[in-house]
């Protein structure tokens, strides 16, 4: 289940946000579903065309009863059309599982509206242990919410991979939790995170804080989100002030540095 979730890219989400907002604006109704909403939503997500009006109204009623307005409902179904296939009890079950994470209704609605695939969780055993583990790292339920808003794919990662990144961010880069949760660092491959950090260090553009430094003191380093939440081209040209080719060359060399050194025949004989 965890590995099957595929999340909408931020750029696509912004486009979807704008398009679904226009659906509601046209009718100037925030809490009622109209035929025009259904027609326009189906244009955005053709997979919705197989569902009857009764199915639409039934699902809308469920979400409305749980505090989600028409705009949120439209964003959810256009992002995850299979929601309409589910029974009211099944949808309510998923909502209750997420409520157990204790983010609060407003924050929960923001999360589910941004990533409708999260409603595919139907078993608390698939979700709650993972969010509890994240809370053990970042300290509070709100920090868990923040990190999921930036890296929802964390839910499909193993604890080993998450811990590996977290230790690197806090111990090697010496970045504090409030900054970590505002970035999409956990959506990045560990090797890419290390490579970008190493490149900045070798260029003299990143200096980790000393262990005794005040974390509230300003630093000349780029913020973590500027390092991780950007394409390779933007990272190279806007953050590192080099060409993309130069960064790609460094990536190849860095990968070779990390390759294990093969044992020679003499080493094997000595063993």
Spatial separation of the C-alpha atoms in residues 260 and 89, rounded to whole Å: 53
Residue 161 lies in a domain: yes
- Cβ–Cβ < 8 Å for 113, 17: no
pTM: 0.85
Q: What are phi and psi of 261, to 5 degrees?
A: -80, 120
For residue 161, what is the domain's CATH number?
Answer: 1.25.70.10
Task: Name the pLDDT band for 214 (thresholds 50, 70, 90).
Answer: confident
Which range marks the domain in which residue 253 is found?
156-260
Distance CA 73, CA 60 (A): 7
Tell me how many helices (H) and strands (E) the chain has: 15, 0
Query: Same domain for 88 and 31?
Result: yes
| 195's tokens | 């490579």
For the stretch 81-92, pLDDT in tens is 999 999 999 999
Residues 25-64 pLDDT 10s:
544 445 689 999 999 999 999 999 999 999 999 999 999 9
> Rounded to whole angstroms, how far apart are CA atoms 148 and 183?
10
DSSP character at residue 239: I
Nearest to 192 by CA among 151, 147, 251: 251
Q: Are residues 161 and 83 in the same domain?
A: no
In a domain, 31, yes or no: yes
The pLDDT of residue 145 is above 80: yes
Name the residue among 68, 55, 57 with its Cα closest to residue 112.
68
Total domains in the chain come to 2
Closest CA to 175 of 134, 222, 131, 130: 222
**131 lies in a domain?**
no
Task: Assess contact for 221 and 236: CB atoms under 8 A.
Answer: no
Contact indicator for 111, 145 with CB cutoff of 8 Å: yes
Residue 143 located in a structural domain = no
Residue 17 has pLDDT above 70, yes or no: no
Say which DSSP state 242 is in: S
> What confidence score (pLDDT) does residue 101 get?
96
| Percentage of the residues of the chain whose pLDDT score is greater than 90 | 78
Count CB-CB contacts under 10 A for residue 184. Answer: 19
């Amino acid at each position: 289940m965890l590995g099957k979730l595929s999340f909408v890219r931020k750029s696509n989400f912004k486009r979807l946000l704008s398009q679904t907002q226009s659906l509601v604006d046209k009718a100037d109704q925030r809490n009622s579903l109209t035929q025009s909403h259904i027609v326009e939503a189906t244009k955005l997500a053709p997979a919705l065309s197989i569902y009857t009006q009764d199915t639409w109204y039934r699902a809308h009623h469920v979400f409305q009863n749980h505090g989600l307005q028409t705009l949120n409902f439209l964003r959810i179904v256009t992002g995850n059309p299979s929601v309409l296939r589910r029974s009211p009890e099944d949808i309510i079950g998923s909502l209750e599982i997420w409520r157990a994470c204790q983010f609060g209704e407003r924050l929960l609605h923001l999360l589910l509206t941004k990533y409708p695939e999260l409603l595919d969780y139907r078993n608390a055993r698939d979700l709650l242990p993972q969010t509890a583990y994240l809370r053990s790292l970042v300290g509070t339920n709100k920090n868990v919410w923040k990190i999921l808003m930036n890296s929802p794919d964390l839910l499909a990662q193993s604890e080993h991979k998450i811990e590996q990144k977290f230790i690197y961010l806090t111990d090697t880069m010496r970045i504090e939790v409030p900054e970590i949760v505002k970035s999409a660092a956990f959506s990045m491959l560990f090797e890419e995170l290390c490579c970008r950090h190493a490149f900045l260090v070798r260029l003299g553009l990143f200096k980790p804080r000393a262990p005794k430094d005040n974390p509230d003191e300003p630093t000349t380093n780029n913020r973590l989100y500027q390092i991780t939440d950007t394409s390779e081209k933007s990272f190279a040209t806007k953050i590192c002030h080099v060409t993309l080719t130069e960064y790609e060359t460094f990536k190849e060399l860095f990968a070779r540095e990390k390759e294990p050194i093969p044992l020679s025949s003499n080493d094997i004989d000595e063993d």
